[in-house]
Structure 1
Amino acid sequence: MNLKQLAEYLELSQTTVSRALNGYPEVREETRRRVLEAAQRHGYKPNSNARKLATGKAGSIGYVLPVGRNVDLDPHFVEFLSGMGEHALSREVDLSLTPAPFERETEAYSRIAASRSVDGVYLSSMRNDEQRIALVRDLGIPFLAHGRALEPSKGYSFLDIDNEGAFHDATRLLLQLGHTRLAFVNGDTDYTFAVHRLNGVVRAMTAAGLPVERLAHHSAAMNEENGYRLAMELFRDADPATRPTGVLSASMFTTLGIVRAFNQLGICMPDDVSIITHDDVFPFLKPESFTVQLTTTRSSIRVAGARICERLVDIINGVEKGPVEEVWPVDLIVRASTGPAPAAGKPGRRGGAAEAAE
């Protein structure tokens, strides 16, 4: 069936059928459902060129993909893209990636606007000096941000998790367990998520009357290599009486390196050191799969990818209007890697984390 045949079958105009298929808000929900069911039943697939001519839309959402010698393929992005792709398939929307090095990012967005190759873009990895929001606005490209810029934090649509709240709660758990010597292996603080997480740690320490100067804070890209290197710096030559007893980690991938360092140094969790990591619910890397199951702050980045796609399509079609700010709470899941702080000069003891969390 082509569009004309589908419209004749449904006894509707081609315009109404096209608008129903593309999610226009003025189409009644009953009509939209009827059109979608008939299209699926009869195997109708819209011709992308015809759809673009009929609706003025490309049927695609875009992302400017950072590339270059210093850019790693981030497993978080792969998981996010999987969730986005699953929802895009259900909405019959294509995903378009435009690779560009950082210094040519403006050129990439300008090319997207000029070619009208996508109907909207999403912005991720929000930076402290974020410039892309103003850029895509000036270019007239509909957009949705995954994350929040530091300034301004309002006036545009975004989806974010409560990074500050997550690491505040994680830090508070360690403090309740008696840990006063803390280390935080953070992500790159050129990005706002890492700044928000550090703010959460500082807020919890301040509320407990613990000097912030006592926090051993390290900022680096979130990967296994940096986790291993930083853990070695913190623990290899440190006096057990003064080294950290509580560690916060920004990513499961960083934690892989930290745990490898602990194993080499003979440091046991949670007897010697308690650790809490951020877990994005990766199907291939689970906190329960470690020898000592990891306490985590948990939020699914795959689900976030699906939600970003859903909202961006709604923004493009006029269903979502005005700046909508969506912040997801983050769960704290207590497992075996957290326990009471060891007494000075004595080995630690297991247990007690669940009670402290309550």
Structure 2
Amino acid sequence: MNLKQLSQMLALSQTTVSRALNGYPEVNEETRRRVVDAAKRHGYRPNPSARRLATGKTGMIGYVLPTGTSVDIDPHFVEFLSGLGDYARAHELDLVLSPADADDQETTYRRIVANRQVDAVYISSPRPADRRIALLHGLGIPFIVHGRSDGHDFDYSYIDIDNEGAFHEATRLLLQLGHQRTALINGDTRETFAIHREQGVRRALAGSGLSLDGRHVLSMAMTEENGYRAARRLLEGADAPTAILCSSLIMALGVVRAARDLNVSIPGDVSLIAHDDVFPWLRPENFSVPLATTRSSIRAAGARVAERLAARISGLESEIRGEVWPVDVVVRGSVAGVPR
């Protein structure tokens, strides 16, 4: 079925049907739903070239994917992409991945904007004063950042979790249990989320008159092997911590392995709390000792980014707005009172 046939069947103009399918705000909700239902029922899919000619829209969301020997595909990114893809598929949107040299992503951003390859883009893993955000702000294409970047003199749209608040509350829990030597195995502190998490730990400790020992802060890429190496360094060192905060469930796998190799009991000798991104294939309750976590779904964040980008493309969202999601602390068997 083509657009003309669909519009004749619904007794609507082709323009109205096209606008309804592309989410234009001037089409009322009842008409939009009627058109979308009919399109699904009769298997109508808009021709990309025709849609672009009729609306000026490609129906595509762009992402510049850094590549190179120094770049590892993070499982967190894959989970985020799954959530974004779920929403995009259900709303007739496509996702375009544009590979770029990790050290020269700006050239690729300029090319996809100049060629009008996509209607909107999103940015992930932002750093303070991130140049990609400043570039897209200047180029004028709709975009949303997954995370935050401090140091800009303009506002931009983003979706983030309360990283500082999450690690502040996790540290407070450990303090209430009597822990005064707490370590942090963090992500890459060139990225804002890791900076905010360390700030949360330091703020909670300062509230109890304590400080974070420099020997007890380790920052690195969030892999199982790095978690293992960091935990061994901490647990074999002088004044070993009685509690560890870990920025990733994947790194926590390495921490648990290191503790087992060193005959260190969790939580008898050391308590452990990790950030949990709700991976369907790695559940904290299934660890040998159920793992306490700060919980947030990165898949849900991906779906929300896609939803807001779709709204910006259609004109339903025009204001610049940031979202910060609260994070729950889930207490399980990996935390206990300080060892005596």
What's the CA shift for 1:214?
6.6
Q: Is 1:14 the counterpart of 2:14 in the alignment?
A: yes
Structure 2 residue aligned with 1:348: none
What's the CA shift for 1:140?
2.2
Structure 1 residue aligned with 2:91: 91
Structure 1 residue aligned with 2:185: 185
Aligned ranges 1:100-115 → 2 under 5 Å: 100-115=100-115
Of 214, 239, 243, the residue aligned with 2:240 is 243
Deviations 1:182-212 (A, max 9, x none): 1000000000000000110011001111133
Checking the alignment, whether the CA contact within 8 Å between 1:166 and 1:197 is kept in structure 2 is yes
RMSD: 1.2
Q: How many matched pairs?
A: 340
Deviations 1:15-51 (A, max 9, x none): 1100000001111001101101111111111111111
Aligned ranges 1:211-222 → 2 under 5 Å: 211-213=211-213, 216-222=216-222
Deviations 1:152-195 (A, max 9, x none): 38611110000000000000000000000010000000000000
Structure 2 residue aligned with 1:234: 234
Structure 1 residue aligned with 2:336: 339
Find the aligned partners of 1:66 and 1:204 in 2 and give their Cα distance: 35
Of 281, 290, 293, the residue aligned with 1:293 is 290
Deviations 1:284-324 (A, max 9, x none): 11101111000000000001100000001101111111111
Checking the alignment, whether the CA contact within 8 Å between 1:287 and 1:296 is kept in structure 2 is yes
Task: Name segments (4+ residues, structure 1) moved above 2 Å.
Answer: 211-215
Aligned ranges 1:129-208 → 2 under 5 Å: 129-152=129-152, 155-208=155-208
What is the TM-score of this pair, normalised by structure 2? 0.98
What is the TM-score of this pair, normalised by structure 1? 0.93
Checking the alignment, whether the CA contact within 8 Å between 1:181 and 1:215 is kept in structure 2 is no
Structure 1 residue aligned with 2:38: 38
Checking the alignment, whether the CA contact within 8 Å between 2:62 and 2:97 is kept in structure 1 is yes
Q: Which segments of 5 or more consecutive residues in structure 1 lack a partner in the other structure?
A: 344-358
Aligned ranges 1:121-132 → 2 under 5 Å: 121-132=121-132
- Residue identity over aligned pairs, in percent, reads 59
CA, structure 1 residues 211+140, in 2 after alignment: closer, same or farther (shift >3 Å)?
closer
Q: Is 1:56 the counterpart of 2:56 in the alignment?
A: yes
Q: Secondary structure at the match of 1:248?
A: strand
Find the aligned partners of 2:196 and 2:215 in 1 and give their Cα distance: 16
Find the aligned partners of 1:59 and 1:185 in 2 and give their Cα distance: 41
Q: Which segments of 5 or more consecutive residues in structure 2 lack a partner in the other structure?
A: none
